[in-house]
């Protein structure tokens, strides 16, 4: 997706997140984030926005010295979040995507942050909806880009004690363009082929369902698994996601 599209997605899902949380019980549990309440989720996303706004606006070359904001009272939480979202959007819209700044990835640019913030908002908007008894999924084109981002930056970070998939996995979106085949190499990272290819197993479904299954927000039963189901199960269970 282009930077403009990602910024629009951040605005859409970031505001939708606030609307859902404003109507919800802030003390309600978030099923997809065990141990968290809606209020915890609002503070988390607002603090994430504060962190990355600081990194990009100041073009920091490291995270050291960052100070986490105080948590507002529940009565002030939604307004604080909305103000922070607006400030983040302003900072990211003004930044050159090629601008150098620290990130935890090997892509140390503002463009990485813009993409990450769009997907962070989409997944947490879905989390908030679950707490409120709603479920509208992730916009399909954003979800397809989210699958690509997940495969690049999250899929090969292993969960302690979790065995590697031991085979190749083909992912195929059924509603929008998006196909990937991933194979683990000798270094323990994935080689990603963005094309149609046969894998030991295939994971097929809507882009939203695949993305949510990758983030372990939905069970594997919500997507179609063809071929070696054990490889698919190990692939989905492998990332740490912490």
Concatenating the DSSP letter of every residue in 150-204 gives HHHHTTTSBPTTPPP--S-EEEEESSSS-EEEEEE-TTSSEEEE-S----SEEEE
- Predicted local confidence at residue 2, as pLDDT: 97
Mean pLDDT of 38-64: 98
Which homologous superfamily does the CATH classification assign to the domain defined by 3-131? dinb family like domain (1.20.120.450)
- Predicted local confidence at residue 78, as pLDDT: 98
Closest CA to 21 of 119, 142, 127, 143: 127
Task: Confirm if 171 and 180 have CB atoms less than 8 A apart.
Answer: yes
What are the sequence ranges of the domains in the chain?
A: 3-131, 140-237
* Cα-based angle 56, 215, 217 (whole degrees, multiple of 5): 125
- Predicted local confidence at residue 242, as pLDDT: 74
Per-residue pLDDT tens over the stretch 157-169: 999 999 999 999 9
Concatenating the DSSP letter of every residue in the chain gives --HHHHHHHHHHHHHHHHHHHHHS-TTSB-TTSTT-BHHHHHHHHHHHHHHHHHHHHTT-S-STT--PPPPPPHHHHHHHHHHHHHHHHHHHHHS-TT-B---SSS--BHHHHHHHHHHHHHHHHHHHHHHTT------HHHHHHHHHHHHHHTTTSBPTTPPP--S-EEEEESSSS-EEEEEE-TTSSEEEE-S----SEEEEE-HHHHHHHHTTSS-GGGSEEEE-HHHHHHHHH-B---
Closest CA to 81 of 37, 12, 4, 19: 19
Across the chain, mean pLDDT equals 97
Closest CA to 20 of 122, 117, 118: 122
Task: Confirm if 220 and 208 have CB atoms less than 8 A apart.
Answer: no
Mean pLDDT of 177-186: 96
- The answer on pLDDT for 171 being more than 90 is yes
Closest CA to 77 of 18, 120, 141: 18
- The answer on pLDDT for 235 being more than 90 is yes
- Predicted local confidence at residue 52, as pLDDT: 98
Distance CA 63, CA 105 (A): 13
Residue range 140-237 forms a domain whose CATH class is alpha beta
User: How much is the pTM?
Assistant: 0.96
Per-residue pLDDT tens over the stretch 58-112: 999 999 999 999 999 999 999 999 999 999 999 999 999 999 999 999 999 999 9
């Amino acid at each position: 997706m282009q930077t403009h599209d990602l910024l629009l997605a951040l605005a859409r899902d970031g505001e939708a997140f606030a609307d859902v949380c404003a109507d919800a019980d802030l003390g309600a549990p978030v099923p997809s984030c065990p141990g968290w309440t809606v209020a915890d989720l609002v503070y988390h996303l607002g603090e994430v926005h504060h962190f990355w706004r600081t990194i990009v606006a100041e073009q920091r070359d490291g995270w050291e010295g960052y100070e986490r904001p105080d948590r507002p009272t529940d009565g002030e939480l939604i307004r604080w979040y909305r103000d922070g979202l607006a400030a983040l959007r302003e900072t990211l819209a003004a930044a050159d995507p090629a601008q150098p700044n620290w990130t935890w990835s090997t892509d140390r640019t503002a463009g990485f942050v813009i993409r990450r913030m769009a997907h962070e908002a989409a997944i947490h908007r879905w989390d908030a909806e679950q707490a409120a008894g709603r479920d509208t999924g992730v916009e399909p084109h954003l979800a397809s880009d989210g699958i690509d981002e997940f495969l690049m930056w999250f899929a090969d970070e292993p969960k302690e004690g979790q065995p590697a998939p031991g085979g190749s996995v083909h992912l195929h979106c059924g509603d929008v363009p998006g196909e990937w085949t991933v194979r683990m190499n000798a270094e323990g990272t994935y080689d990603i082929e963005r094309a149609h290819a046969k894998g030991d197993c295939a994971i097929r479904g809507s882009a939203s369902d695949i993305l949510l299954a990758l983030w372990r927000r939905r069970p594997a039963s919500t997507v179609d698994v063809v071929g070696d189901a054990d490889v698919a199960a190990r692939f989905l269970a492998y990332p740490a996601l912490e």
